[in-house]
Amino acid sequence: MYNGNDLIQRIHKNLPKLSKGQKLIANYILNHYEKAVFLTAAKLGAVVGVSESTVVRFANVLGYDGYPKLQRALEELVKNKLTSVQRMEVAYDRLDQKSVLKYVLQSDADKIKHTLEEIDETSFDNTVNAILNARKIYILGVRSSAALASFLGFYFNLLFDNVKLIHTNSVSEMFEQIHKMNSDDVVIGISFPRYSKRTIKAMEFAKSQKATVIAITDSPLSPLVRYADYSLLARSDMASFVDSLVAPMSVLNALIVAISLKKKDEISETLSTLEKIWTEYQVYDNEDEDLNLTYSLNRRQGG
């Protein structure tokens, strides 16, 4: 766990014993943390005029096991404080226009990799069981997280008949939709920096109603976690003013697949019924139907 406020405290505590070069680093971080967070050890050293090794020793003096650990603490410090404009400004310093595609794709791949390494599988399994046993499943995500909530809601509506996706433009509307929840229900709150106050308030209310609260967020320090019975953490660092939702989406995919495997027979029956409805009412393009028909005939004929 990397606490941004703890980083500031460590810097102030160790300031008297820092070397001249290390004090330059400390002052730069304190005054320009929104830029420092995106710098490698070598680049940070170049900016303040010290060697890369001095930056690494600085991290060690503060008690971090290497510069990457210090950088994670920096990320926790800044990610919920930067405005969209500030994110865009620091992105210009970080990105080469010619390599944006490769950079963003690699960054997203790294987020999935780190999420895989860090996610709590026990919490994941407990989440699956809680959802399967719920009287009602509430899903809430606003602003950029609304896309994640809608995705989860779409597939959960195929798996369950007790799902309520909360659509809200105000706090009052939100509470009107969730005021009947109780201890038999599950509430899934989704939020990533900058965290939504509406989602936090909803999870606080759900906790007071003794519902099982599940947080899908990015860090143990997320304000959603304090109200959650189970937390699924997925990396969502910023490449610009855009929130990367690749790793969170991957976690939701895993959640949907895990639950569908538990309800395999029921799901097969539901999908068979839906396929008949989709065909009858021409939900999908006729060309797709022709391709499916051709594929089926070929299989029957051994083609």
Instruction: Report residue 73 as tokens.
Output: 């603490």
Q: What domains does the chain contain, in order, with CATH numbers?
A: 4-78 (1.10.10.10), 113-262 (3.40.50.10490), 265-301 (no CATH)
Cα(196)–Cα(190) distance, integer angstroms: 9
Distance CA 91, CA 279 (A): 47
Is a pLDDT exceeding 90 seen at residue 98?
no
Q: Which two tokens stand for residue 197?
A: 């106050």
> Which tokens sit at 139?
């899903």
- State both tokens at 200: 């936090």
The CA distance from 296 to 303, in Å, is 10
Closest CA relative to residue 18, chosen from 61, 50, 68: 61
Q: Quote the pLDDT of residue 295.
A: 55
Rounded CA separation 9/75 (Å): 15
Confidence of residue 269 (pLDDT cuts 50, 70, 90): confident
Tokens of 87: 């994110």
Q: What is the pLDDT of residues 272-292, one digit of tens each?
A: 887 888 787 777 776 555 555
Per-residue pLDDT tens for 161-193?
999 998 776 677 778 888 889 999 999 999 988
- The two beta strands, 137-141 and 186-190, are parallel
Q: Is the pLDDT of residue 239 over 80?
A: no
Q: Say whether pLDDT at 97 is over 60.
A: no
| 80 pLDDT more than 60 | no
Distance CA 37, CA 32 (A): 9
Provide CB contacts within 8 A for 66, sequence distance 6+: 56, 59, 60
Q: Across-strand partners of 187?
A: 138, 213
Two tokens, residue 281:
């009412």
Out of 61-75, 187-201, 230-244, which region has the weakest mean confidence (pLDDT)?
230-244
Per-residue pLDDT reduced to its tens digit, 109-147: 988 998 998 899 999 999 999 999 999 999 999 888 999
Task: Decide: helix, strand or coil at residue 280.
Answer: helix
Residue 25: which of 75, 74, 94, 72 has the closest Cα?
74
Please give the DSSP secondary-structure letter assigned to residue 169.
S
Strand intervals (E) in 142-237: 163-165, 186-190, 212-217, 230-233
Q: Taking 60 as the threshold, does the pLDDT of residue 91 lie above it? A: no
Q: Tell whether the model's pLDDT for residue 160 goes beyond 90.
A: yes
What length is written for the chain? 303
Q: Does pLDDT of 236 surpass 50?
A: yes
Q: What is the pLDDT of residues 11-31, one digit of tens each?
A: 888 888 899 999 999 989 888
Task: Kindly report whether the global pTM for this prediction surpasses the value 0.75.
Answer: no
**pLDDT higher than 50, residue 1:** no
Q: Using 50, 70 and 90 to split pLDDT, how confident is the model at 237?
A: low
CA distance 178 to 146: 17
